[in-house]
Every structure is written in C-alpha cells, then in structure tokens.
Amino acid sequence: MLRPVNTDTEMRIEYHTIHGYRRAYRIAGSGPALLLIHGIGDNSSTWNEVIPLLAQHYTVIAPDLLGHGRSDKPRADYSVAAFANGMRDLLVVLGHAKVTVVGHSLGGGVAMQFCYQFPRFVDRLVLVASGGVTRDVNPALRLMSLPAVSQALSLLRLPGVVPGLKLAAKAIAGSPNPPGLPAAWTPKHYLRDHDDLVRVIADLADPHAHAAFLRTLRAVVDWRGQSVTMLDRCYLTERLPVLLVWGDEDNVIPHGHAEIAHAAIPHSELVTFPASGHFPFHDDPERFCRVVIDFLSRHEPIVFDPVNWRQMMSEGPHLDKFVGDDQTVEAVLEAFEDERSAT
C-alpha cells in the first residue's frame, strides 16, 4: 500500500544557478532517481499529489523548466533540445548519473529528446499524455501560436479577467450538452480539464511567464499543429523500457496519439485511464503511482551499449516492425510521411 510521506518535511523546493540562471526544483525521498518533467506553461507543483507517494521508493526530482514556475525566465532558447540540455545539467549538478524519466505533455517530448541526446543517463522512460507524436494538437494551442492571438493573452493582466475566466469555464463545464450536438463538438468537451487549463493560463498574467510561454509554444507548435515530433527516433528505444499513460478523454493530446506511439514502439506498455483527460495523474494519483511503480519494479534499468546504439542509428527505423491493427499501423505510416513533409 502507498503511504504518503509528510510533504511539509520531506518535499523541499531547492534552487541551483546553472549557466547564470536560477533553476527551481522539488525534491523528495531517497533511492534511484526519478525525474518528473511538466508540460508547457505548467510547473513542478503539478506533481504535488504524486511526489509523496513516489518518494517512498525513489529520489523524486521535479524541476521547473526554464521560463516556468520559480525558475528564471530569460530571453533564451526554449526549444525541446535546450530543455533536455537543462535536465542533463541539473542532474550533473545534483550528482545523478542515471535516472528514470517521466514526462507529461511537452515534458514527454523533452523526455524523449533527453533519451536521444543523453542515452547514458537513462534507465527507463514513462510518457504521460505526451506531445511530439504527430502534428495533431488542440486547436487552441495552434491559435495561440499566431501573433495576433498570442498578444491577446496580455489581457490576462487586467483586473477581474482571470477570475472571470475561472467562473466561465466552471459554468460551461457544468452545463448540459446542447441537444443533438455530438459530445466531441461541444465547448464542454474542450473544457474537460478546465481547472488545470485555467490554472496554467492564469500564470501567464505575469509578463515574463507570458513571453517565455510564447517562445516555448512557437518552438513546438505552429498554425498547422506540432512542428516537433519524435516518431523518426522511436526506434532508438528498442532496448529501453517504455510506459505510456493516457486518459481516454484527453482533448489536448488525443488518445489516438497513445495508440500511434504504442504501435511505433512495439515493446512499450500502454495504460489507459478511463474517463480521464490530459492530467491522468490528477484524476487518480494513487493509481498513477501504482502503475508507475509496478512498471519500474518489473523492468531493470537499461545498460547503455554504445555498439548497439551505433548499430541502431546505422540501420535506422524498421517500418515493418510496427504493431497494431491495420488502421493504427496506417496512421503511424501517415504520421511518418507527414513528419517528412516540407509543408
């Protein structure tokens, strides 16, 4: 049974200055290292419910990405690769040479990039409602990448706007669906995670957080959708234990992405949380921790093999090894084709 530790005494917020920038992180527990990476516009507090449970077994490190939370928000590089570099640098400073990486949303893309850039550091990989599978993404994020729409976010600084958004989102989410309109087309559907989405948006009232958010968003999303995907390097996880966790009602990164990622990483395990949205670890934190701990207990950490790594990179992906039904495999192949498109 999972027994929460005392978060007041066990979970700490600490800081390190790296390359001149202050980086904040939450840390708790002892044992093998577990790195939790949050999504765009979010911060490490998103993991507060699961850190005490995971810390019973692991040293849990949950950073605020640069430009997020309590970390500095400079005019800097906010690409996925830069975020992966930041995770490596923090682990070096903290003295951890090996880590299991858990990434949510944008953090999933960062986690995959981390595994690609620094394979010697990685024990296992857990992707939670991860970005970077295909171009498809919530239309709101596409709109916010446009200059005119993104500048409208500055209205959040006006008195009463954020409380008004909270009330409106709560009212819409609690209202009945219009008769005859499919559930997937209703405003209520897109506000499945309204508490978390409004929480993230509210933080953008700070002008420095706003600027960092836009730089991060434009590094990974444009009007066509996600511009950075990971399918072309999925084959490099061949020996790496991989767990996928998704909510079946996720309208930010749809559950179909989970099925595509599962097909492209044939040895991966997929756990779906029913009636859950983009934050399954908020909807059922205890189950989430049980799933993660069980996965880690069944899979020994990978031992990096430079010869095998060179062989995999030399051979490239094997498109004939995808698993799943015909429709899913076709979706994977279409995503590969779209990934290579110049338009």
User: CB atoms < 10 A from the CB of 185, how many?
Assistant: 11
| Encoded tokens for 328 | 């899913």
Active site residue 282: no
Active site residue 175: no
| Encoded tokens for 148 | 């005119």
122-160: burial string, b at 16+ Cβ within 10 Å, e else = bbbbbbbbbbbbbbbbbeebbebbeeeebeeeeebeeee
Catalytic option among 104, 130, 250, 255: 250
User: CB atoms < 10 A from the CB of 282, how many?
Assistant: 19
Residue 128 carries which DSSP code? E
Phi, psi of 164 (to 5 degrees): -65, -40
Cα separation of 274 and 65, whole Å? 29
User: CB atoms < 10 A from the CB of 45, how many?
Assistant: 16
Active site residue 79: no
Cα separation of 279 and 310, whole Å? 36
Catalytic option among 38, 257, 278, 282: 278
Catalytic option among 44, 105, 130, 145: 105
Closest CA to 144 of 100, 198, 201, 94: 201
Q: Decide if 36 contacts 62 (C-beta within 8 A).
A: yes
| Residues known to be catalytic | 105, 250, 278
